[in-house]
Structure 1
Amino acid sequence: MRLRDAAGRVLHLGYCTNVHPAEDLTGVVGQFDEFAVPIRERLDTPVLGLGLWLAAPVAAALAADPAARRRLRRELDVRGLEVVTLNGFPYRSFQDPVVKHAVYQPDWTTRERLSYTLDLAVVLADLLPGDAARGSISTLPLAWRTPWDAGRASRAARRLDELAKGLGDVEAATGRVIRVAFEPEPGCVVETTAQAAARLAGMDTDRLGVCLDLAHLACAWERPAEALRTLRDAGLPVVKVQVSAALETTDPEALRPYAEPRFLHQTRCAGGQAADDLDEALDAGLPAPWRVHYHVPLHLRPEPPLTATTGVLREALAELVGQGACDHYDVETYTWGVLPPGHRPRTPGQLAYGIAAELDFARDELRLLGAR
């Protein structure tokens, strides 16, 4: 979906397809008919934006085959779908029974991560609508925090230099600008905006910047206005925003139904105490209140005494839209399949309905801020 802010700037709003498990091109196209088209029709919008997730083997195959990229573009066009952003954080196997720390591999010390991201850039350059100003790719914030030392930091810095050069090569070959956005996340080398300012300093900010995930921002107990000021003062652009909400509570025992084996649910306390997963936090008896890296449906209120960090989401959107700080907004609730059973969609139609309701929520929030 496209909106315009009060200054007339185009805002792209879509949903991230990493909620779907397909990891071959046939499966990816099948998602368009099973989910994306019903979502678009329910929202009554002529064009629906997808934050497309392509596993590494699919990205490599598409990057090597211009005809396949043209076919994929046609599959999108005939269904009223468009892609201005890709999610390049999970490398593959993101909806496996157990993901946890595997999602951070390969990291930015490796050539595999560089190759994957440049493959995505080649693909995105051919998927971008002709009138889109630029494309974006979100990626992990360098690596999980351990092991990390000066040698690994130096290798990552070299990879980022190679990345910027490769993005320049893509632009020279296609005329399309693609930017890569590093996404601060709890437990990683870059967890907060302050760490982004410190550890991403010196990179090519014409082509590289930050993906601001609003659930991660809330879990770090950051205030949106201060976080954006930190990034602005460091000269780091907000290339992409993940519109997401985390769980919050003053009664941690109420979170037990959300402890599950697939994803890592980093837990952060207002006083600074931390745990790398929800079950670990529950066993440790950390002091409340807690915020938990568990993306919850934007339009639904968790059952009391649980709440969602929707207030942080609204504050952040107000700052971002008011400053004209970003034009790519992606709803990213990838946890539908691991919600407690009573909240989990049982059919593809129910999942499509839920994602459409999230997008409607996000569209309404942007409209309240003056977007049309």
Structure 2
Amino acid sequence: MLSYCTNVHPAEDLDGIIGQLDTYATPVRESLAVDVLGVGLWLAADVAAGLAADAAARARLAGELKARGLAVQTLNAFPYGGFHDEVVKHAVYVPDWTDPRRARYTRDCLTVLADLLHSDAAYGSISTLPLGWREPWGPAADDRAVAAFDEVTAYARTLSGRIGRPLRLAVEPEPGCVLDTAADAVAWLAGRVDAEHVGLCLDTCHLAVSFADPTATVRRIHDAGLDVVKVQASAALHVDRPLEAEARAALAEFVEPRYLHQVRELAPTGEVLAADDLDRALEELPGRGPWRVHFHVPLHAQPRPPLVSTTDVLTEAVAAVAAGQRGGMPHVEVETYTWTVLPTWRGSDLATGIADELRWARTEVTV
């Protein structure tokens, strides 16, 4: 079942979440002419805690989803809260996996998912941040993170036994974080976690930014005994010649104050050079090789030249997962949360845009 991620919507209370289902998710389902639409819910920490503590509230939300023909098989538990604040940037990585609040939030999300999980879902998944931002981090932080994962995994195992279906964490590598690449995530997770309940979330925008080979990356994950638990179907910006004036002008339109837009440059030597945000990249990176920018762009619409999107990485990665994954396809969730900061999107209808993305994904992505 293909889903779209509701972190594109700002609501952080139960009534607001239900309201945005009416405003966006139901019109998307109707536009697609499907009986059931997958929604990957994002629940901020406060609403997740409230739902986890209140079985009646969980039952209400489950009923509201069913009444609208909406199905949940996955949650996004990466942003803790304030994901639509005026400035988010590095705050999206707080609290990290050394902070007890992160484990508590993830447990709350597991509690909620256990009661919302659609009857057709073989398992439930929760994507989470790749430990935290890379600084500060060290061996003591690693130890605390391992202990937190052990605690949350034990809780997932208990809930899984109760509902008769697995609940699984999906660690999402992201440029600039402790687990910057999928290779970093594999190296950290393999041998440290229970692979039945912890695997990877393969965000294909992040994968593209790292300049990693999609097929080789998926093979590395499987060879380590890990699963791709979830794919976040997303695309980055790519530009071949970032020093050219036309390219720099086009890139400058994507500089904005809310989200972090990490940039990687593939140098002629094969080295991957890094900048932590697009404005810094325009000032600091040499620009002698192609750039990829962590800016989730709509899957169905190419940016204006000379920029292109990395949907080729998305389709190759999903095909590689489909060819090699044990136990069938993982959850696939379209995650374009940047609509309101896109330079080419000025008040266009969001439900129409989401529906157009999902139409593209239904045609181009194997699910």
Scaled to the shorter chain, the TM-score interval is over 0.9
1:259 aligns with 2:217: no
Q: Which residue of 2 aligns with 1:3?
A: none
SS at match of 1:273: strand
Q: Residues 1-372 of structure 1: matches in 2 within 5 Å?
A: 12-201=1-190, 202-252=192-242, 253=248, 254-271=250-267, 272-287=272-287, 288-324=289-325, 326-340=329-343, 343-346=344-347, 350-366=349-365, 369=366
Paired with 2:350 and 2:161, the residues of 1 have a C-alpha distance of 40
Paired with 1:353 and 1:322, the residues of 2 have a C-alpha distance of 32
Residues 345 and 351 of structure 1 are in contact (CA less than 8 Å); yes or no, is this contact kept in structure 2? no
Residues 265 and 294 of structure 1 are in contact (CA less than 8 Å); yes or no, is this contact kept in structure 2? yes
Amino acid at match of 2:7: N
Please give the per-residue CA displacement for 1:139-183, whole angstroms capped at 9, x wherever unaligned: 001111110111001100111111111111212333342101000
Amino acid at match of 1:160: F
Residues 101 and 264 of structure 1 are in contact (CA less than 8 Å); yes or no, is this contact kept in structure 2? yes
Paired with 2:80 and 2:200, the residues of 1 have a C-alpha distance of 19
Residues 180 and 209 of structure 1 are in contact (CA less than 8 Å); yes or no, is this contact kept in structure 2? yes
Q: Which runs of 5+ in 1 are unaligned?
A: 1-11
Q: Which runs of 5+ in 2 are unaligned?
A: 243-247
TM norm structure 1: 0.93
- Deviation at residue 280 of structure 1 after TM alignment: 0.4
Paired with 2:133 and 2:114, the residues of 1 have a C-alpha distance of 29
Paired with 1:165 and 1:99, the residues of 2 have a C-alpha distance of 31
Please give the per-residue CA displacement for 1:314-353, whole angstroms capped at 9, x wherever unaligned: 111221223345330000000000011xx21415xx1100
Q: Which residue of 1 aligns with 2:245?
A: none
Amino acid at match of 2:256: E
Paired with 2:141 and 2:356, the residues of 1 have a C-alpha distance of 42
Please give the per-residue CA displacement for 1:242-281, whole angstroms capped at 9, x wherever unaligned: 0000001024302000000000000001121110000000
Which sits farther off after the overlay, 114-123 or 284-293? 284-293
Residues 241 and 326 of structure 1 are in contact (CA less than 8 Å); yes or no, is this contact kept in structure 2? no
Amino acid at match of 1:137: I
SS at match of 2:72: strand
Amino acid at match of 2:12: E
Residues 222 and 324 of structure 2 are in contact (CA less than 8 Å); yes or no, is this contact kept in structure 1? no
Q: Which residue of 2 aligns with 1:8?
A: none
Amino acid at match of 2:309: A
Residues 273 and 285 of structure 2 are in contact (CA less than 8 Å); yes or no, is this contact kept in structure 1? no
Paired with 1:164 and 1:137, the residues of 2 have a C-alpha distance of 12
- Deviation at residue 291 of structure 1 after TM alignment: 0.1
Give the alignment's Cα RMSD to 1 decimal.
Answer: 1.2
Paired with 2:285 and 2:110, the residues of 1 have a C-alpha distance of 44
Paired with 1:206 and 1:283, the residues of 2 have a C-alpha distance of 44
Residues 186 and 224 of structure 2 are in contact (CA less than 8 Å); yes or no, is this contact kept in structure 1? yes
Amino acid at match of 1:212: L
Please give the per-residue CA displacement for 1:68-111, whole angstroms capped at 9, x wherever unaligned: 10110000001000100000000000011100000000011111
Paired with 2:98 and 2:108, the residues of 1 have a C-alpha distance of 17
TM norm structure 2: 0.94
Paired with 1:134 and 1:27, the residues of 2 have a C-alpha distance of 27
Paired with 2:252 and 2:290, the residues of 1 have a C-alpha distance of 15
Paired with 2:315 and 2:257, the residues of 1 have a C-alpha distance of 30
SS at match of 1:265: coil
Amino acid at match of 1:83: V
Amino acid at match of 2:216: E
Amino acid at match of 1:229: R
Residues 251 and 306 of structure 1 are in contact (CA less than 8 Å); yes or no, is this contact kept in structure 2? no
Residues 89 and 139 of structure 1 are in contact (CA less than 8 Å); yes or no, is this contact kept in structure 2? yes
Give the length in aligned residue pairs: 353
Paired with 1:286 and 1:333, the residues of 2 have a C-alpha distance of 29
Paired with 2:55 and 2:255, the residues of 1 have a C-alpha distance of 43
SS at match of 2:157: helix
Identity among equivalent positions (%) equals 55
Paired with 1:286 and 1:15, the residues of 2 have a C-alpha distance of 36
SS at match of 2:121: coil
SS at match of 2:3: strand
Residues 219 and 324 of structure 2 are in contact (CA less than 8 Å); yes or no, is this contact kept in structure 1? no
Paired with 2:186 and 2:198, the residues of 1 have a C-alpha distance of 13
Amino acid at match of 1:360: R
